[in-house]
Amino acid sequence: RKHLGTSVIGNNLIVLDSVGSTNDYLKRLGSDGCENGTVVTTREQKSGKGRLGRVWQSKRDENLAFSILLRPKLAPKDVTPITPLAGLAVCKALRKTTGLDCRIKWPNDIIIGKKKLVGILTEMCAEFDAVEYVITGIGVNVDQIEFPEEIAYKATSILLETGRHYDKNRLLAALLGQIEREFTRYNLELPPEALEEYVSLCATIGRSVTFKKGERTVSGAAVGVTAAGELRVMLSDGTVRTLNAGEVTVQGI
């Protein structure tokens, strides 16, 4: 812990040998009152969860899987910037430590070219319009070289991209450090400077995206991100719509 260099995030660091999902494990600790900034990581994750009900594989000692619990004094509607901020921090930390040209696929996947390197899943527990805790779970493909057939064309790892093995403890320390810096610097919000940084690293901006409007599929161009972390999309008639994650498919990446 003294090597982490953070002051809040990871102050309480729990290292497991094996677990179903670090998000679920931390949820239980959260409901039992664990401290702000508690981090859970594991050598093996047996039933990791992805966004939109998908699964996230993490075999023993291959990848990095960890979750961070925060207790921000916020209303539930105001936690949305946490996810893009975490994406920004992870992207910056990986660029620094590995030199890889990784980018953010809105809202918070980290990709290299067209392939995914990192997935982030944020979950919230709120009661009576106040947030009790927010859990941000992060999975980084570090040493994985084989992926299930269905995702092999769109997944990659640090080893596949660099040909090098990176120490997972050091990577974790670098990621937690950068996350704490961005969260503190931007106060869990997306002020204009944060948005500018985010957009400069975001591969989605400028691309064509599609979304459902009733029965119809509408396409437009991603032109920006709002302070709440939503995507701004310009339609062919020049009007701009704001969309949240889950509604949009990005073309080509």
Q: 45 vs 220, which CB is nearer to ligand BTN?
A: 45
Please name the amino acid found at residue 58. S
Q: 21 vs 98, which CB is nearer to ligand BTN?
A: 21
- Report the nearest approach of ligand BTN to the CB of residue 196 (Å): 25
Residues 157 and 166: their CA atoms lie apart, in Å, by: 11
102 binds ligand BTN (CB under 6 A): no
Q: Which residues, other chains included, contact 70 with Cβ-Cβ below 8 Å and sequence gap of 6+?
A: 36, 37, 82, 133, 134, 135, 136, 183, 188
Please compute Rg for the chain using Cα positions.
18
Q: Which residues, other chains included, contact 241 with Cβ-Cβ below 8 Å and sequence gap of 6+?
A: 220, 232, 233, 235
141 binds ligand BTN (CB under 6 A): no
Distance of CA 12 to the CA centre of its chain: 21
83 binds ligand BTN (CB under 6 A): no
84 binds ligand BTN (CB under 6 A): no
44 binds ligand BTN (CB under 6 A): no
Q: 175 vs 220, which CB is nearer to ligand BTN?
A: 175
Q: Which two tokens stand for residue 215?
A: 């029965």
Residues 13 and 5: their CA atoms lie apart, in Å, by: 13
119 binds ligand BTN (CB under 6 A): yes
CA dihedral 222, 225, 228, 231 (to 10 degrees): 10
Q: 22 vs 156, which CB is nearer to ligand BTN?
A: 22
Q: Is residue 92 part of an annotated ligand binding site?
A: no
Q: Is residue 36 part of an annotated ligand binding site?
A: no
137 binds ligand BTN (CB under 6 A): yes
Residues 126 and 129: their CA atoms lie apart, in Å, by: 6
- Closest CB to ligand BTN belongs to which residue? 119
Q: 151 vs 235, which CB is nearer to ligand BTN?
A: 151
Helix (H, G, I), strand (E, B) or coil at 17: strand
Beta bridge partner(s), residue 232: 224, 242
- Report the nearest approach of ligand BTN to the CB of residue 43 (Å): 12
Binding site feature residues: 21-23, 45, 116
Residue ranges binding ligand BTN (CB under 6 A): 21-23, 48-51, 54, 56, 65-67, 109, 119-121, 137-139
